[in-house]
Amino acid sequence: MHVVHDHVLAVSRAINFSTSVKECMNMLDDVGKDGWNAFWGTFVLADRTGDIGFMTVSTMPVRKDKTPYIGARVLDGRSSEYDWEPNKVVPMADMPRSLNPSKGYISTSNNRLTPDNAKYDYGATFVPTVRTIRLDQMIQEM
């Protein structure tokens, strides 16, 4: 019998008891090393030393076919070529994140979070939205 454990308490502990952004990110990576079984979402983190961070937390299955942007295409469902790999999910450490970005701040507004050379094909259809571009302009003008 395969028992699935809910990670909500471990996530709560990481957020409430970590003393830095880096420690919190490491704790969340440990919780999600074999997959994420809690709510889906994003964390924007800050600590008293001035570190800032962003993490996407979700269960993201892995596809058999590793063609870039495959998730943005209509796929042939007559074969198993494009199926998800059974019981395989992206480790938390490989999900989109940022720690102390060079621009000095973190902004998120449903925009694409991954570069073109991302290891896994998540978020391939998201693009920089007008809202994100404008948000960055306003922050840079301050």
Write the pLDDT tens digit of every residue in 31-88.
888 777 777 888 899 999 999 999 888 888 888 887 766 666 778 889 888 888 888 8
Identify whether the C-beta of residue 21 lies closer than 8 Å to the C-beta of residue 51.
Answer: yes
Is residue 5 predicted with pLDDT exceeding 70? no
Residue 3 has pLDDT above 50, yes or no: no
φ, ψ (nearest 5 deg) of residue 107: -130, 140
Distance of CA 110 to the CA centre of its chain: 12
- pLDDT band at residue 2 using 50, 70 and 90 as cut-offs: very low
Q: What is the pTM of this model?
A: 0.76
Spatial CA neighbour of 57 closest among 9, 22, 90? 90
The encoded tokens of residue 50 equal 């001035």
